[in-house]
Amino acid sequence: EALLRDLALTLFRAGGINGMVGGQWLDLEAEGRDLGLAELRAVHAGKTGALIQACCTLGGLAAGADPATLDALAAYGRDVGLAFQVADDVLDATATSAQLGKTAGKDAEVGKSTYVGLLGVAGATAEAARLARAAEEAVAALGPGAESLRLLARYIVQRSR
């Protein structure tokens, strides 16, 4: 019963006003405005990062992980979630619609602040790589069992769609 409660609370918090819903609201409020890096991170930490972080934590909770492992999984999820969004911004600015399978350049059309807009393509690419490395480091102590997480972090910033 305690496990089910913890699982539900983790998911509800990630989806609520302090997570995805709040991040999406901040994102919509920010259209047409220039956000600073801290504000942009807050948008994406909620909009994308909260659910990815929750997924990582939920897996650990379901497996009965100890608090140190749960902390490592949460840190991994936070960093890989932001890495995903930064890489997505780079792809939106550099790939074609055919490559992406969705409309490229859509963020610029609606006046969204992006990591590319703030840091440039090279800077945003470097930031995505930094976040992926931080995600990998977060689970380093988990040993060989976390290899798939490390590979996923690398894939997220190297993908072409």
Q: What is the pLDDT of residues 102-131, one digit of tens each?
A: 776 677 676 788 999 999 999 999 999 999
Query: pLDDT for 1-27, tens place per residue?
Result: 999 999 999 999 999 998 999 999 998
Query: pLDDT for 71-92, tens place per residue?
Result: 999 999 999 999 999 999 999 8
Q: What is the pLDDT of residue 76?
A: 98
Mean pLDDT of 144-150: 96
User: Considering the entire predicted model, what is its pTM?
Assistant: 0.89
The 3-state secondary structure of the chain, one letter per residue:
CHHHHHHHHHHHHHHCCCCHHHHHHHHHHHCCCCCCHHHHHHHHHHHHHHHHHHHHHHHHHHCCCCHHHHHHHHHHHHHHHHHHHHHHHHHHHHCCHHHHCCCCCHHHHCCCCCHHHHHHHHHHHHHHHHHHHHHHHHCHHHHHHHHHHHHHHHHHHHCCC
